[in-house]
Amino acid sequence: MRFTGYSDEIEFFMQQLYVSLSERERRRYAAVEAVKLGYGGILYLANLFGCSEKTIRRGLDELYDPPRLPLGRARKKGADANVVSTPWQDWRRTFGASCAITPQATRCVRKSSGQTSR
């Protein structure tokens, strides 16, 4: 049996909730709804939320086999996870000294080569 859809009011509330979630939470929320709806649910929700069916299928994969992450983390650690400095500190270390000795730009005054009309 194919799912026919929710009422307009419920769809509105579902869309409001969906846009307020993070990327990972959106996938998982859509996947839970798809499981509840059954056959045709993925296509219905992809149209409702404006996402791809692939996104919802990925959410289903995450529900059935959740990623192994430490508590409180939304993403895996990257290569620079142990770096203490911020991008601003790196920029200042690289370019800050050269900017400090660069003279201030002077305003370019263009000389008129002819008469000006008033």
Give per-residue pLDDT as tens, 20-48: 999 989 999 999 999 998 888 999 999 99
Higher pLDDT, 85 or 76: 76
**Best CA proximity match to 48, nearest among 93, 6, 106:** 6
3-state SS assignment for residue 88? helix
CA gap 57, 63 in Å, rounded: 10
Q: Does 1 have pLDDT greater than 50?
A: no
Dist. CA 84–CA 92, nearest whole Å: 15
Quote the tokens at residue 50: 């404006």
Give the span between the Cα atoms of 104 and 117, in whole angstroms: 34
Domain boundaries, the chain: 8-64
Alpha carbon of 107 to those of 24, 104, 110: distances in Å?
A: 51, 10, 10
What's the average model confidence in pLDDT over 79-88? 56
Rg (CA), the chain: 27
Amino acid letter, 12: F
Which of 2-11, 56-65, 108-117 is the least confident region? Answer: 108-117
Instruction: Please give the average per-residue pLDDT across 66-71, as a whole number.
Output: 69
DSSP state of 105: P
**What's the pTM?**
0.56
